[in-house]
Structure 1
């Protein structure tokens, strides 16, 4: 585990504020206190750190760092940018918030039912308080964890969050540090864990002054965003520390339960100890200090189980990773789309394989990538794979931001829900999918640099070139693009949308209450499929009573026979075709036995439970 050092402005009641910044090439560094124009010289210490204690400086004080008596910049490790990314930083007091979550017990990953949301578009207010006000909806739905898209300070008031330039500063327009703490505290009071999306693979372009302080970037690698962050070149120890301190800040001072690590395949590090392993070790050290469990989840495009394998097996030891293969297998099969990366998917047997193992491409040749791809996830527990049928990337990186609601029939939306929530993996929903939100989720920014805005527009068009999408991409800079992406909550006035939400509720309740789904086990999962009828059989036989889900991924009714491998009689517990869920209400047998034939409604999921405890 690497040595860490606190950086930024750290306030201690009764002692004042300790300022620390890494600027190895500077000959002089000062703190400029903007409230009274006082200048405090910093003392140089080992490795180019500069530090000084100001006993008079307290919470809310605005300050900048001045380099060599010439340039003034905000603090790279700022905890708050109240006036925007180009303006002075503010001192934050992390000791005074009135936390009420001392009895909160972090949930094990097996109990996570994740709901991904974007603070700016989840509520009309677009704030942390707006999310707090809607928490009763999520509790009613059965959600056990929210995943918040990045809240690190970004330019303007509209952004997905991946253009953040101060990783430790909470976006002012959302409610700042106090607002985020209130949200986490409210979530814990409601029994909901909080996952925060963090970005350690790049920083946004506008307001990014890091290179003026030190060699935060390296020419060794090229990335889609330009120079790579310096995680393995000269002086990289201190760049790594910068991001380690960020992760510890969220977990320690904001009581965040888990971090979702954005696009870790773009974290370029060939050192003996990869940044991700280093980070996991730092988090484990914090766990011991606080006697509290934390979870790290990677988003990865690599299908590489080294991320989640234990260190004794040569892995990095992370808790989980997203399975893009699961999403692509579901999406391509249900929509019929076959361009871009969907060209590698679209077969029912691929869905069967991903349900059984976690990846489709586990060392197979990928036609889209033109190379052999992936590693074998068979030995990894199901909980280690986070799966979804929609998320911010897969919806928002479509040219028109269409959700599945616009791409497949209503009844097939319930099939998608069943595939996610009845899978053995950690399920994740994208805000609004539970009732069939019809507004798109588009890409939006609010940059102030005209050249940058034009570059973003051009870049988005180039991104879509490999897909067969028709139309004109909405302008990311337009406020209308942002407003179009806000949730309508149509289930409040539309019976059809309310019925879909009720089906999601029923699935979630089943997942929570059925012993076979409480601790899903891939090794006790039976998956079979008939590509002719497009019927898939999924049996959870880990704990009694067993669950048997029949998916008809066909727009016509289909006949199938109950498998004989798991000998039991089965009683009906849930059907997407029930009229209360907006279905046709076709009569189904209340009980089934091994080998019995059943006709499944078109585009449906039907769930049975074993009659006897086995």
Structure 2
């Protein structure tokens, strides 16, 4: 059943809503002479009516049992906010210019995550378009947009959305998102949208008035769980599956990032995530275009991305927090909170080899075993990062790495991500070391809810023992402080870091050993005492191979390059210690000699290129 207000080219609009416990559902067209129009009840609690001569832009609400008047749960637009009426959208009147676009395979993606409200001074989706050429020139080929579903007020991270089908009005609404996606496709760039199916925000959430969208069987950090396996769950699942297809079809999106899927509690024989993957797979086959589903999960459960024939859910990829935690602790030395499980060179070595660090191992932080093996999962099924909205924004003061480590460490952090055998993700501004914090901000109108948010942030940081006062999430200045300073890209060391990032991306895209994502053609060894890692990557078809040397030691060290053994001739391609990259000067030879120790500068990365011997 297709839900929402679906407008046709003939001026006919079909309204469909699910309200199984209601005896009467009526449509109110605002400004119309006929106040309320009855909908016809159909199977499984759906209500439906088709009207002629309806104009796009018309506002409407539903009246339930003659008493409660509510916006459409599947509203495509909420121009007056979460409490206002829904708006009819004609999705056929946009002139798409991407008929030849077929998408980008995950193995080729270089992701760039951004928040629409803080990425530009204007805080709109349209304002992103003038920056696309600079991102493309840098080597970015896939944008990942933080959630755009309508949320309360004008500013929010996006995870308090309550209308999953409606594009946030303060971001520019439906046409603004379409213009951005169209502009990306014209430049050969894909677009992935972050969506939230594990909960809806607390303000403006009227789903309970329509039906049992939630269940008391399970609890999540946000309260009741979404009803995915209880009575009436078929229709709840349909609501979210229709939402996925809506984003892919009406907005031409190339994929979705599924937020916190560990909170999608589902004990059914055919899990919701499997059904979702099957639906998107069929849609991709039908359209001949690549569409990807990327999960976020803290379970370290490889079944999410395992194929269905192997007992998995069949999602395309997932975020790898273990990689971040391993890298972050080596760079910062932090050991509180969940960082207590990390901090050794061997952790990052294991993540570079397998993806997960914890694959059934005992977790000190959790005080239990955690995860299962990801050894059989492909390298292009993991998204890795040194920073993202969660890991920056969920710090007490929202500090980026640029405020936690020195310049040499910043270069090292980006290099480990971009030289890894996984799908790399950069967080907005990371490429030039933006100093602005990324703080948590909301714009709720309910005083009790505001207090709950403030108290919740205080409690969340308790295990990390960070010092300082939590910035007020409701204060508009908290939001304004989080805007990136794009102009810094052309200044001083920011420009140097940007050029360094560009160089890394160029190497990744042009050298087969780096562009070929494979665990099988990879050798990694770390030395705990020296705090250094040597990684060899190969591509056998072309004979390409690279040797990447990462020094996490805060001091210069003499390092024996022994294993992986660098047989043959190796020519230096990149050295972060060189003066051109803002370093103090390199002491490494232009060509490596097998068996000889080398002198590594502190917090440095070096890349050598060789050829496979016959």
> How far apart, CA to CA, are the structure 2 residues paired with 1:518 and 1:326?
19
Name structure 2 gaps, 5 residues minimum: none
1:509 aligns with 2:506: yes
Matched residue, 2:560: 561
> How far apart, CA to CA, are the structure 1 residues paired with 2:109 and 2:290?
14
> How far apart, CA to CA, are the structure 2 residues paired with 1:81 and 1:175?
11
Matched residue, 2:111: 114
Matched residue, 1:598: 598
> How far apart, CA to CA, are the structure 1 residues paired with 2:221 and 2:489?
41
> How far apart, CA to CA, are the structure 2 residues paired with 1:209 and 1:37?
26
> How far apart, CA to CA, are the structure 2 residues paired with 1:393 and 1:300?
12
Matched residue, 1:26: 22
- Deviation, structure 1 residue 291: 2.0
- Deviation, structure 1 residue 518: 1.6
Q: Which of residues 382, 385, 391 in structure 2 aligns to 1:385?
A: 382
Tell whether the 8 Å contact from 1:79 to 1:91 is kept in structure 2 after alignment. Answer: yes
How do 1:152-167 residues align onto structure 2 when only pairs under 5 Å count?
A: 152-167=149-164
**1:297-344 C-alpha deviation (Å, 9 max, x unpaired):** 000000000000000000000000111100000011110000000000
Q: Which moved more, 1:455-464 or 1:278-287?
A: 278-287
Tell whether the 8 Å contact from 1:415 to 1:603 is kept in structure 2 after alignment. Answer: yes
- Deviation, structure 1 residue 141: 1.2
Report the count of equivalent residues.
610
1:81 aligns with 2:75: no
> How far apart, CA to CA, are the structure 2 residues paired with 1:190 and 1:35?
42
1:545 aligns with 2:544: yes
Q: Secondary structure at the residue paired with 1:420?
A: helix
> How far apart, CA to CA, are the structure 2 residues paired with 1:8 and 1:518?
43
Matched residue, 1:35: 31
Matched residue, 1:9: 5
> How far apart, CA to CA, are the structure 2 residues paired with 1:292 and 1:109?
13
> How far apart, CA to CA, are the structure 2 residues paired with 1:582 and 1:566?
28
Matched residue, 2:497: 500
Matched residue, 2:582: 582
- Dislocated runs of 4+, deviation >6 Å: none
> How far apart, CA to CA, are the structure 2 residues paired with 1:265 and 1:398?
21
Name structure 1 gaps, 5 residues minimum: none
Q: Which of residues 348, 366, 371 in structure 2 aligns to 1:369?
A: 366
Tell whether the 8 Å contact from 1:569 to 1:612 is kept in structure 2 after alignment. Answer: no
Tell whether the 8 Å contact from 1:101 to 1:189 is kept in structure 2 after alignment. Answer: yes
> How far apart, CA to CA, are the structure 1 residues paired with 2:126 and 2:613?
46
Tell whether the 8 Å contact from 1:23 to 1:48 is kept in structure 2 after alignment. Answer: yes
Q: Secondary structure at the residue paired with 1:522?
A: coil
How do 1:94-133 residues align onto structure 2 when only pairs under 5 Å count?
A: 94-133=91-130
> How far apart, CA to CA, are the structure 2 residues paired with 1:363 and 1:40?
58
Matched residue, 1:339: 336
Tell whether the 8 Å contact from 2:213 to 2:236 is kept in structure 1 after alignment. Answer: yes
- Deviation, structure 1 residue 243: 0.3
Return the TM-score normalized by structure 2.
0.98
> How far apart, CA to CA, are the structure 2 residues paired with 1:41 and 1:588?
78
Q: Secondary structure at the residue paired with 2:257?
A: strand
- Deviation, structure 1 residue 490: 4.8
Tell whether the 8 Å contact from 2:575 to 2:586 is kept in structure 1 after alignment. Answer: no
Tell whether the 8 Å contact from 1:304 to 1:375 is kept in structure 2 after alignment. Answer: yes
How do 1:311-322 residues align onto structure 2 when only pairs under 5 Å count?
A: 311-322=308-319
